[in-house]
């Protein structure tokens, strides 16, 4: 962020809510790190009445390359809307931006939603199409100096090809409110016969409303947990493995497998080789997807730590009753355990 001269004392006092960290302290160093990666803050203010009139010559600044290289389906289903009171607003669509799985809305509609959420141009320039990514940016107030904490956190997170999703989120650190735009890919190589529907994600969010209301940033943890759970249910892998094992006919458990309803021994070796190759590809794709999601979870955990440190600084200027709230939220911000259990299980 470009350095600015200190405003007059009266203006400084009106814009300062918490005591400034002292130079040399860990909190001061953390704010300096956040500010170093923030860049300048430029926002597009279209006004709500103009959000739906963007055309190709009015692409939102910062999204030019993303809009150009992603695939769009203007005649697709409209975005679903899900909210948790006023603390969390989520728009959910379908697709991954590929030619075979275009985003289910037009590029103009995509830009209008991004403008409504309020993403900065510097952040949107980091967003890339058709690739896994985890990008973030801390947004600082326009009137700020060295000790001013960030006001917003912006996150772009996606996986690609298999178990694919795309998510943009803007989190208000002061008001503790989140707005997010999410896209899910319905079918891929691992999910040929069992599409991933948008209603599945909404049904996953609904039981966790209480937690998401208190900690709206946790919507990203819930999204990762959903993708991991849907993609790697052990029972489906077991059924497919046993079926292939029964068809090969080389196992000592062949009789038990046939009694269990699995396929008879198959002597079509060309087909068996093709199925073995396909099974190996599924394993490799699953390993890549799981490792990408795990890296996203680790990066998200670090960002949650930054936010908690800011909240701790902010709480110093408030009453002592804020301390238990911060402590309680800290327990909910732990890195998710990706397995059979949900991160919200007690």
Q: Which two tokens stand for residue 269?
A: 């070796």
Map residue 191 onto helix, strand or coil: strand
Whose tokens are 């009445």? That residue is 49
Task: Report the pLDDT value the prediction gives residue 63, as an integer from 0 to 100.
Answer: 92
H/E element holding 229? helix 219-231
Let me know: does 137 contact 38? Beta carbons within 8 Å.
yes
Q: Which two tokens stand for residue 3?
A: 């350095």
Task: Report the pLDDT value the prediction gives residue 305, as an integer from 0 to 100.
Answer: 87
Let me know: does 231 contact 286? Beta carbons within 8 Å.
yes
Would you say the pTM of this structure is higher than 0.75?
no
**296-308: pLDDT as tens digits:** 999 999 999 888 8
Let me know: does 59 contact 111? Beta carbons within 8 Å.
yes
More confident of the two residues 151 and 23 = 151
Q: What is the DSSP letter of 189?
A: T
Task: Report the pLDDT value the prediction gives residue 192, as an integer from 0 to 100.
Answer: 67
H/E element holding 91? strand 88-94
**6-64: pLDDT as tens digits:** 444 333 344 444 444 454 555 444 544 454 444 444 444 444 444 444 444 467 888 99
Q: What is the DSSP letter of 160?
A: -
Task: Report the pLDDT value the prediction gives residue 244, as an integer from 0 to 100.
Answer: 78
Let me know: does 15 contact 143? Beta carbons within 8 Å.
yes
């Amino acid at each position: 962020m470009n350095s600015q001269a200190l405003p007059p004392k009266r203006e400084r006092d009106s814009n300062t809510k918490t005591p400034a960290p002292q130079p040399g302290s860990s909190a001061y160093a953390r704010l300096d790190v956040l500010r170093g990666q923030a860049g300048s803050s430029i926002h597009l203010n279209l006004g709500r009445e103009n959000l739906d009139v963007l055309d190709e010559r009015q692409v939102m600044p910062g999204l030019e390359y993303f809009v150009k290289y992603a695939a769009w389906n203007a005649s697709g289903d409209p975005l679903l809307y899900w909210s948790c009171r006023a603390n969390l607003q989520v728009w959910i669509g379908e697709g991954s931006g590929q030619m075979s799985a275009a985003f289910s809305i037009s590029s103009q509609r995509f830009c209008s939603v991004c403008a409504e959420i309020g993403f900065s141009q510097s952040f949107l320039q980091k967003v890339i199409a058709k690739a896994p990514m985890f990008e973030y940016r801390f947004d600082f107030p326009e009137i700020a100096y060295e000790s001013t904490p960030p006001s917003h956190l912006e996150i772009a997170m996606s996986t690609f090809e298999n178990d694919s999703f795309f998510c943009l989120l803007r989190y208000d650190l002061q008001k503790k409110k989140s707005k997010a735009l999410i896209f899910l890919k319905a079918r891929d190589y691992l999910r040929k016969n069992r599409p991933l529907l948008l209603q599945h994600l909404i049904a996953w969010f609904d039981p966790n409303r209480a937690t998401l209301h208190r900690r709206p940033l946790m919507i990203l943890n819930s999204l990762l947990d959903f993708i991991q759970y849907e993609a790697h249910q052990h029972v489906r892998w077991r059924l497919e493995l046993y079926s292939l094992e029964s068809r090969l006919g080389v196992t000592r458990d062949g009789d038990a497998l046939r009694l269990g309803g699995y396929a008879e021994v198959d002597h079509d070796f060309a087909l068996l080789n093709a199925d073995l190759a396909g099974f190996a590809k599924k394993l490799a794709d699953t390993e890549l997807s799981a490792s990408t999601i795990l890296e996203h979870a680790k990066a998200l955990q670090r960002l949650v730590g930054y936010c908690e440190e800011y909240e701790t600084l902010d709480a110093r200027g408030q009453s002592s009753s804020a301390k238990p709230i911060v402590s309680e939220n800290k327990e909910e911000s732990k890195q998710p355990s990706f397995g059979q259990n949900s991160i919200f299980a007690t």
